Amino acid sequence: MRISTTLRALAVAGLGFAGLTLAAVPAAAAPAEPEPATVTYDVTNAATGSTIAGSATWDDASMIHKGTVEVPAGGAYVDILRYNHAADKSVIDMEQVSAGAVSGTTFEFGPLEFAKPTGEGQFTTARIIVSAADYSPLVVIDCNQSKCAQVQ
């Protein structure tokens, strides 16, 4: 038998295996379903008086955004840009979704769901842009699976 020959050779070579017992190892339990990663944000651009608060949730198949926007009177637009990245971080696909228009001072958006890429090492990020009626940015945040941070 090859295993016993190998163990005998190691023992002869001075690599003692005294008391070594080969036993059946029970099969490992199936890994638990991973919990979705959720990040929350509450960002105010002091210069424009605009606020966006909400959450982004990632699971194995999708990215979901929902939240609330508060802007000064005059209305605004909310857009979400979804970026799919290759393992080397290059952008391989991009989608823009208009979450809606703020007609007063408060607007709730979502849940908006985006499919994630399925390739090895690929991942999804998002940029949420709140723009005034003239399309000038009021508040901009970038989100990945670990955080959402203000860009503007």
pLDDT in tens, 78-106: 899 999 999 999 999 999 988 777 777 88
Higher-pLDDT residue of 136, 32: 136
Instruction: Give the helix ranges, DSSP H, for 50-110.
Output: none
> How high is the pLDDT of residue 128?
92
Given pLDDT bands bounded at 50, 70 and 90, which one contains residue 30?
A: very low
Q: How far apart are CA 9 and CA 61, in angstroms?
A: 51
95: left (phi over 0), alpha (psi -120 to 50) or beta: beta
Rounded to whole angstroms, what are the CA distances from 149 to 40, 74, 85, 140, 146? 10, 25, 18, 9, 10
- In this structure, what token pair is assigned to residue 55? 């959450």
Type of residue numbered 19:
G
9 pLDDT more than 50: no
Confidence label for 34 from pLDDT (cuts 50, 70 and 90): low
| Nearest CA among 102, 97, 86, 91 for reference residue 63 | 97
Give the number of residues written for the chain.
152
Which of 50, 122, 110 is closest to 83 using CA atoms? 122
Verdict on whether the full-model pTM lies above 0.75:
no
List, for residues 106-133, the tens digit of each pLDDT value.
888 889 888 888 889 998 999 999 998 8
Single-letter code of the amino acid located at 21: T
**What domains are defined for the chain?**
37-150 (2.70.50)
